[in-house]
Structure 1
């Protein structure tokens, strides 16, 4: 019997070895930029330089299920880019265009001074400007879903924000300009100064707001728009949590964000439960999590809105609940410590991490919650989280300390602090974390943010694994390919505050096997 068992073990190992494809012979790191797109007009939102290589600020990355292609959001440029991982080349770039808020179903509340919820159509466009993006497959096709947060370029050396009341509106395009520029109408709405004058005559021919206040689904093959949630997020928060509508999460801030990006969808992830594909969208300002059934990409359906907020509490007291979800993480049942699918939301303002159980119909039930102590309001104490199934730990980026905090999730009803791992030896601190097969990767920005950043690899106990890898300036989101062979890093390359230094926006492709070799 021992001999047979030994032979069986040998056969299992041999089969496993045959199933593993060798790591592609790519360099340790390939850092790509967008200089090839500097000369042509791709109808992207311009920055100060007018060159995409400098103006593009890669924000977030999703990867196709076969690990061949990466999709990168260029938030401030209002664009998506496709990267071929094997060749290390940007193969496609597309402006996402504008959402028309004058069309039925695309309304918005545009004023923080009207004293009420007032979702309606206006002669305004919205630049989608997505932050997070996630990839999913339906019917053999790859789709992307984006959280259309919006973001301006707001530096001492260059800014592109202006309120509608401060613009000279073109009399032909806006015959009722005086009415529109009232505070209770569009006067308070923050729009883009660089997108306003389309004919160069010095007045505003169109109004383009930052973000689309929605989630959108795009066809990965050509980056074309498949569907958008329209005004759903504002409608549902108005219906289900009217006292915190377009707020900072509490009743004290009611309607204060209507003039600037509204509920501000930022994080998004997808997961399959009970044969259905669900998307989970974090609303950074209003707070809470929207759940959508995206099994039919052409018609995303509302499922749930879950949030743990005490609307009448002082947000600075630590008693207001979860404020400002930054990271959203889906843990499938097969990896979950409870055997149930879980959703983890990390909150940068309240410094809390909440764990939800995902039911078969996609609805969320709060299961457990961790509150960092002592309470630190709006210090980024809990930003992005990643889960290691072997150790049953969450790794949570702490923006206040620049470290990563380890939480035990062995009992999801009681997430428990284990320890904090400092990354100060490598730069100013971590921005993001990703985990694959027990390898923990962290994006660490340089002490001077315009300098090259690093990726640091850790073991599950927080000890350093291998040597750090140098990547582009201001590395932010990072993700492993599904096959675990490569790690992709979005290098935002933000300029210095006075715009005297403006590094290129980059995408770095790290060969994981080589990164973990002794060097």
Structure 2
């Protein structure tokens, strides 16, 4: 295991800095088992979603991210590669619905996209947002829940993600397809590099009538944030707003990997890639914060009227857009996890937005004004961390004012003290090697730190480690499904919901079922 810290800042330092405390006892709900792991076999052949090499929903669903309703009764789990969402009755322990999210039409006004990285002079890139005969599969990564007017709405960050394994891949460029002459009478023009030729689309979804040619072009991701109601019916979509705004605000890094030298290189493949989304309520208004994985900025939207999301602000810490990506001047690259901390829980009596940036290996704190606008407060840069996933997902313990950060470089958790938001400092590191190969997600509730840890062989069942805030074990780890990804507590802390992605191995000879685990916290802490 790689060490990010000098010996003085290892786990022993963490134990000194964080006195051990015992979390409050949570009474287990009666007659509910310690853990229930739910699969999708009951939906095989009954729900039409995108599938992979197995051609079975139960194996290809790949649960990714979770939002829980304000009343704690329902979880909504994104099935990213399958372009769907599962609705889970938490207390009942059942998947009550699986919904296909359908397709976005990029030929409609307001739904344009820049589809090529070679549409400028001399075959180079250019900003060129326009309508095309292309559909977009939403394929959300992150999902968040809000309550407006007594109704639950879901917000999705529509990143898009294809399946790319040695044994199965579903990505292809438009120029490598045979286009149906009826659907695309101008196929020769569309397949030029400056048009749609270089756009990455789905090979699985292209041939709808089985005659060997492409009848529809389905791109990965919708390059937007979408609002859905609790039945997963679309309420609103931001269309091409993210593309238009980033083109205006940061044109030198438009559809890039966050730096000027990669300008427009992502136009042919998912654009700015909205990946993370979280929400906060300020001054009676509800705001959404959306992280752009490739553009590396954070957009703020007012979603107080769910049917009409309104642009508020955009922030990207970047001292020098022309700097080398692995230099300090490049700033934040690759926001992965976003976390809103209300004023009542933060230091300094101001709400904070925490952004964990996996490519730059930095954690950045923004102050959030009552109008939703962001002001840089503080930042911690992990050393020698470029492109090593040193800062992925963060969770906050309001009692100790500490962030627990999933660190893919060390395979454990790094702990940051943010009691002074202007000067976050490293407080220690937690070794998770006894539980598996590395952490994928972390959540904190009332002093209990829950960590999703994948197995040494990713197709084997993973574990959820239950720790105290000092890094010591609070209770024995719980076995869940294969490749546990995101996990979260219900608002009352009674349950932990875990999305077990269940990815296949590279040659597709082993393909574990995707699943959702529900852990009874009371029984876990008080066996």
Q: What is aligned with 2:93?
A: 88
Q: What is aligned with 1:360?
A: 370
- Partner residue of 1:23 out of 20, 24, 29: 29
What does 1:338-349 align with in structure 2 at a 5 Å threshold? 338-349=348-359
1:400 deviates by 1.2
TM-score, with length taken from structure 1: 0.95
1:200-243 CA-to-partner distances (Å, cap 9, x unmatched) read 000000000000000000001x1100000000000000000000
- Partner residue of 1:141 out of 127, 144, 151: 151
1:334-383 CA-to-partner distances (Å, cap 9, x unmatched) read 1111211100000000000000000010000000000001x221110000
Measure, in 2, the Cα distance between the counterparts of 1:81 and 1:430: 24
What does 1:236-255 align with in structure 2 at a 5 Å threshold? 236-255=245-264
Measure, in 2, the Cα distance between the counterparts of 1:92 and 1:23: 24
Q: What is aligned with 1:122?
A: 132
Measure, in 2, the Cα distance between the counterparts of 1:134 and 1:175: 41
3-state DSSP of counterpart to 1:295: coil
The answer to whether the 8 Å contact 1:29/1:510 transfers is yes
Measure, in 2, the Cα distance between the counterparts of 1:21 and 1:516: 9
1:48-74 CA-to-partner distances (Å, cap 9, x unmatched) read 111111010000011111111110100
Measure, in 1, the Cα distance between the counterparts of 2:264 and 2:465: 41
1:23-65 CA-to-partner distances (Å, cap 9, x unmatched) read 343111000000001122x231121111111010000011111
1:448-502 CA-to-partner distances (Å, cap 9, x unmatched) read 0000000001111111111000000000000000010000000000000111100
- Partner residue of 1:293 out of 283, 295, 302: 302
Measure, in 1, the Cα distance between the counterparts of 2:172 and 2:269: 11
1:276 deviates by 0.3
Measure, in 1, the Cα distance between the counterparts of 2:456 and 2:184: 47
The answer to whether the 8 Å contact 1:479/1:488 transfers is yes
1:21 deviates by 7.9
Q: What is aligned with 2:17?
A: none
- Partner residue of 1:334 out of 344, 348, 351: 344
Query: 2:40 matched to 1:34?
Result: yes
3-state DSSP of counterpart to 1:423: coil
What does 1:344-423 align with in structure 2 at a 5 Å threshold? 344-373=354-383, 375-423=384-432
Q: What is aligned with 2:518?
A: 509
Query: 2:213 matched to 1:203?
Result: yes
3-state DSSP of counterpart to 1:315: coil
Cα 1:485–1:351 change in 2 (3 A) is: same
Q: What is aligned with 2:112?
A: 107
Uncovered stretches (5+) of structure 1, i.e. residues with no partner: 1-16
Measure, in 1, the Cα distance between the counterparts of 2:215 and 2:106: 15
What does 1:116-515 align with in structure 2 at a 5 Å threshold? 116-220=126-230, 222-309=231-318, 310-373=320-383, 375-515=384-524
User: RMSD over aligned Cα, in angstroms?
Assistant: 1.1
The answer to whether the 8 Å contact 1:284/1:325 transfers is yes
1:286 deviates by 0.7
Q: What is aligned with 2:6?
A: none
Measure, in 2, the Cα distance between the counterparts of 1:385 and 1:24: 32
Uncovered stretches (5+) of structure 2, i.e. residues with no partner: 1-23, 120-124
TM-score, with length taken from structure 2: 0.93
3-state DSSP of counterpart to 2:345: coil
